[in-house]
């Protein structure tokens, strides 16, 4: 049981961070177990709302790959991947958009609202929020895209009026066509366009580990200049590579700091942002 004095100490520890990040924008990529476990979902919603109430401007970008796969299976539509990207024909894109925009996005908006916030759900097609273009390999991947530009005016208008934007990673092409875009890449592009103070990626690992078998070997701080060395020696590998590359791109695009944290830990966002020790891996310039 936490005593009153311990609770006060926690608040005092958070105070300098609240002051430092007051009025600053934080982009949160929401995905992994934190989207499927009910108690974790509630904790994430509470973290986001608390950030808003202490004067920060959280912007949420969400994924939803497992939900898309389940819906495709239910409808008998086969799906395949190339280099980790879902091959997306027109039929698949229709389901992707339905699941991301019509289901998951609205569930997150409802969760934030139920926790005391005011959220607005958006896809990249709303107000031409995310202009997209096909990535190389269009002949194989179909309607898989990458971000060309972000309409920051729409996001900034919402945040300034007290709303929390919740963005689905669906972009719009030059002719109104929809594109399926990797959520990490969308979060990084949105953070760069907004010149956000922080980009936080929720994952299902403790962070970047020096030893994959030892969860206590978390690397708490990593500089851009060290990334190539860590990839070459195998410390950063597999699915962690694109997440770290996303952080590097965001930092080069003007984001202040980037964080890879374990979304399986309740209130992981608050623990990373408002405590001295943090719980994840921070990738910084230098």
Residue 32 known to be catalytic: yes
Give the single-character DSSP code of 99: I
Select from 221, 143, 222, 230 the least CA-distant residue to 179.
143
Q: E-strand spans in 198-243?
A: 198-203, 221-223
Helix (H) or strand (E) holding 170: strand 170-172
State CA 7 to chain mean position distance. Answer: 29
Which of 31, 47, 243, 262 is labelled catalytic? 243
Which of 32, 64, 117, 207 is labelled catalytic? 32
Which of 67, 184, 197, 262 is labelled catalytic? 184
Is the Cβ–Cβ distance between 199 and 258 less than 8 Å? yes
Residue 42 known to be catalytic: no
Give bridge partners of residue 119 from the DSSP assignment.
164
Residue 19 known to be catalytic: no
Contacts of 170 by beta carbon, 8 Å cutoff, 6+ apart:
96, 97, 100, 101, 123, 124, 125, 130, 178, 179, 180, 181
Select from 147, 241, 155 the least CA-distant residue to 196.
155
Is the Cβ–Cβ distance between 218 and 254 less than 8 Å? no
Which of 29, 52, 125, 198 is labelled catalytic? 29
Residue 29 known to be catalytic: yes
Helix (H) or strand (E) holding 38: helix 38-53
For residue 79, what are the CA distances in angstroms to 85, 134, 138, 144, 182?
A: 11, 19, 16, 13, 16
Which of 64, 65, 188, 207 is labelled catalytic? 65
Name the maximum alpha-carbon separation found in the chain.
62
Enzyme catalytic residues: 29, 32, 65, 184, 243
């Amino acid at each position: 049981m936490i005593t009153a004095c311990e609770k006060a100490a926690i608040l005092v520890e958070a105070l300098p961070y609240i002051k430092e990040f007051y009025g600053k924008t934080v982009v949160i990529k929401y995905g992994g177990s934190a989207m499927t476990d009910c108690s974790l979902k509630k904790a994430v919603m509470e973290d986001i709302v608390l950030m808003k109430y202490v004067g920060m401007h959280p912007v949420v970008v969400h994924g939803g790959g497992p939900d898309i796969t389940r819906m495709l299976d239910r409808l008998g539509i086969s799906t395949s991947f190339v280099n980790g990207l879902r091959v997306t024909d027109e039929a698949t894109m229709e389901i992707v958009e339905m699941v991301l925009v019509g289901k998951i996005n609205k569930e997150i908006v409802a969760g934030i609202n139920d926790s005391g916030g005011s959220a607005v759900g958006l896809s990249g097609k709303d107000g031409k929020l995310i202009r997209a273009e096909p990535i190389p390999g269009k002949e194989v991947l179909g309607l898989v895209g990458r971000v060309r530009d972000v309409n920051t005016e729409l996001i900034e208008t919402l945040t300034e009026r007290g709303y929390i934007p919740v963005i689905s990673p669906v972009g719009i092409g030059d002719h109104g066509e929809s594109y399926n875009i990797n959520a990490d890449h969308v979060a990084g592009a949105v953070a760069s366009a907004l010149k956000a103070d922080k980009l936080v990626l929720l994952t299902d690992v403790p962070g970047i580990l020096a030893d994959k078998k030892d969860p206590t070997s978390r690397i708490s701080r990593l500089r851009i200049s060290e990334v190539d060395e860590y990839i070459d020696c195998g410390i950063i590998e597999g699915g962690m590579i694109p997440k770290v590359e996303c952080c590097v791109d965001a930092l080069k695009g003007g984001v202040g700091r980037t964080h890879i944290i374990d979304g399986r830990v309740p209130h992981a966002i608050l623990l990373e942002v408002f405590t001295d020790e943090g719980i994840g891996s921070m990738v910084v310039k230098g």
